[in-house]
Amino acid sequence: MTLLPYVGRRLLFVLPQLVGILFVSFLMVKLIPGDPAVLMLGPFATPDSLAKLRAELGLDHSIFVQFLIYLGKAARGDLGFSWQTTMPVTTDLAQRFPATLELVTLGLLLALAIGIPLGVAGARYRRGPLRAAADYYGLLAGALPDFWLALVLIYVFYTLLAWAPAPLGRIDLSILPPEPVTGSLLIDSLLAGNWETFQNAAAHLVLPVLTLGLINAGPILKMTQATTERMLDSDFSRYAELCGLPHGIIVRQAFRNALPSVVTIVSVLYGFLIGGAVLVEIVFSWGGAGQYAVQGVLNADLNPVLGFVLYSAVLSLVIYLLVDLVYFAIDPRTR
Amino acid sequence: MTVTGSTIPAVSRGAGSFAFFRAVLRNHPSFALGYAIVLLVVLLATFAPWVAPFPPEFADADVFLQPPGWPHLLGTDATGMDVLSRMIWAPRIDLSIAVLGTLLSALVGSVLGALVGYYQSVRGLARLAAGFVMRAADVLQAFPVFVFAIALVAVFGQSLQSIVLAIAFVNAPIYLRLMRNQAMSIRTMRYVEAAWLAGLPDARIIVRHVVPNAMAPVLAQLSVNIGWSILLTASLSFIGAGVKAPTPEWGSMIAMGYQNIITGQWWSSIFPGLALAVTVFGFALVGSSIEVLSDPARRRRLSGRLTAARGAA
């Protein structure tokens, strides 16, 4: 199978899929009780001004016409305004999406750093305390609510030990954020050569990243352990063992063969966390994309929700494409 | 087949029996722990009015934010409600929502999945409908789960029923896929073909032959899923889209106490979260025990090990 036609075929399916997802979310958010015009103008608005605003927002058309209008604007890069922040959704998301991405990416990197070594070790030594610890860790990580773990970490490292900064955003209020280039505070402050800002942003990242990393190491560990174990039990590993290869090499080979499923679970987690990290974002007042969408849903603010769904759908599609490219790189059978 | 039959030890002959179950628990203390946790939580929830030392929604303004001690064993929250009593009452709400939501999704998902799996290899209208159901499930699963659940609660209005519905909606595709895969492979079995040749109607074949043989993975999934649904319920309540205070519920209790953590009053948030985590952990253990027990190969290995252990003793 060659790469380019494959990618092309994938992209062909993307557009109808996106429109479908957008349409369902459009219908759903429209079904949420609450008239944006009333919410925007307050309870004392005159019927005239309400009608005028409804006409301006296009609310007097049928729902299908409204959706078509939205699609037409979206194709030109206009995702409308959020009436809560009174800013264009694209501007809001340009600020908030990188915040979430930075958090989720670092969290998953930490999860990989915990989950993979533990998983491989658990597959290699099947009896004994290490395996038991790995098994229990996997179950526990799946049982802990992430927002609660975040609170425990805040209590220990902020309230008791005062090692971490206050859980009030990505950076101290007294520090000027760097000129946005990529949207990631870490990268931007390095680009600006501002070491102090970098340290401050990094300090704010520690606890939320630790929370996400500790929780999400669970599924990565389970997947790594299960697949590596299966690979160690398969014929090629037995053959290698019979040939007298050292155990370390056999395990390394088995892990290499287990990599595709690890990559898969990481991509699934990534897609999930873009919206799923919202609880951790709330606890740390992170101001991320998930928080923005949840506020939109709770306040019948249509455009931010649609914008968020669109962005995260596109992002997951990009991630799945990347994953396929990674498969090409690590699995010779797909070439 | 007779050869393997003779090697199956005596214990597994009464494999469904209580003795076997007890032997498994003795050999797998973690499974026993799981059942103990689930049993304890269910008992506490059932007998909450008699066990809890204080009424769950009784706010005594004189004793707000008391640290753990006497008479408030786990302290009081910012409005003066007893943390322990509310923790004991909470599983009534949390468990009911999670169990109802999961059962509903399993029911709807499995029935649809069995139909889709059974009819997907047939030509004509049935196949078209089956394909449509699967594409719809694709679109549903493409949504960010959490935002989707919140939106569903917002659409139906904030009530217990809508949380149950939201959980059922979010989980149904899992059962749909599980059951469909099972049904597709079972459909090609000889006994299904035989039933079909004997002239049994499709509905009868699905109910009598396909569903019973496909239930094992669904059952294992159920327990894990209940734990996960408890987490989702608590998460929804935490951001204010689920159960509303002062109804005792773990997520909203954590949310109520979360402002106080920064100033050092940790008990009103940390204890409910602990109860939540232990409960979900218990359901996960029960789920993994069902997974082992419902897999014939692993079950045989297990009972073999059990007799070996007994012989050595």
User: Across the strands, what pairs with B82?
Assistant: B76
Half-sphere exposure for A101 (CA within 13 Å, toward CB):
18
**Contact state of B273 with A148 under an 8 Å Cβ cutoff:** yes
To which H or E segment does residue A238 belong?
helix A235-242
Instruction: Classify each residue of B106-126 as buried b or exposed e, where b means 16 or more C-beta atoms within 10 Å of its C-beta.
Output: bebbbbbbbbbbbbbeeeeeb
- Residues of chain B contacting A308 with CB distance shorter than 8 Å: 144, 147
Note whether A207 and A284 are within 8 A (CB): yes
Note whether A298 and A32 are within 8 A (CB): no
Note whether A150 and A280 are within 8 A (CB): yes
- Burial class for B272, CB neighbours closer than 10 Å (0-12, 13-18, 19+): buried
Contacts of A25 (CB under 8 A, 6+ apart): A305, A306, A309, B143, B151
- Residues of chain A contacting B155 with CB distance shorter than 8 Å: 28, 31-33
Q: How far is A252 from chain B (nearest CA, A)?
A: 27
- Residues of chain A contacting B273 with CB distance shorter than 8 Å: 145, 148, 151-152
- Burial class for A140, CB neighbours closer than 10 Å (0-12, 13-18, 19+): middle
Instruction: Give the residue from B175, B56, B59 showing the smallest Cα distance to B112.
Output: B175
User: Across the strands, what pairs with A88?
Assistant: A81
Instruction: Classify each residue of A103-117 as buried b or exposed e, where b means 16 or more C-beta atoms within 10 Å of its C-beta.
Output: bbebbbebbbebbbe
Instruction: Give the residue from A52, A261, A89, A288 showing the smallest Cα distance to A185.
Output: A288
**Contact state of A159 with B146 under an 8 Å Cβ cutoff:** no
Q: How far is B273 from chain A (nearest CA, A)?
A: 6
Contacts of B205 (CB under 8 A, 6+ apart): B118, B192, B195, B196
Spatial distance between the Cα atoms of A217 and A150, rounded to a whole number of angstroms: 15
Q: Is A176 helix (H, G, I), strand (E, B) or coil?
A: coil
Q: Sign of torsion, CA B29 B30 B35 B36?
A: positive
User: Across the strands, what pairs with B7?
Assistant: none
Q: Name the stretches of chain A with pLDDT < 70.
A: 1-3, 334-335
To which H or E segment does residue A175 belong?
none
The radius of gyration computed from the CA coordinates of chain A, to the nearest angstrom, equals: 24
Spatial distance between the Cα atoms of B85 and B53, rounded to a whole number of angstroms: 6
Q: Sign of torsion, CA A133 A138 A144 A146?
A: positive
Note whether B135 and B197 are within 8 A (CB): no
Spatial distance between the Cα atoms of B305 and A22, rounded to a whole number of angstroms: 54
User: Across the strands, what pairs with A81?
Assistant: A88
- Residues of chain A contacting B263 with CB distance shorter than 8 Å: 159
Note whether B236 and A294 are within 8 A (CB): no
Q: Is A81 helix (H, G, I), strand (E, B) or coil?
A: strand
Spatial distance between the Cα atoms of A15 and A22, rounded to a whole number of angstroms: 11
**Contact state of A274 with B144 under an 8 Å Cβ cutoff:** yes
CA B144 to chain CA centroid, Å, is 21
Contacts of A81 (CB under 8 A, 6+ apart): A87, A88, A89, A303
Q: Residues 120-179, chain A: which have Cβ within 8 Å of B? A: 136, 139-140, 142-145, 147-148, 151-152, 154-155, 158-160, 166-167
Note whether A150 and A283 are within 8 A (CB): yes
Whether complex ipTM tops 0.85: no
* pLDDT by 10-residue block (mean), chain B, 313 residues: 41 59 79 91 91 84 81 83 89 92 93 87 79 79 78 82 90 89 85 88 86 81 89 89 85 87 86 93 88 74 70 54
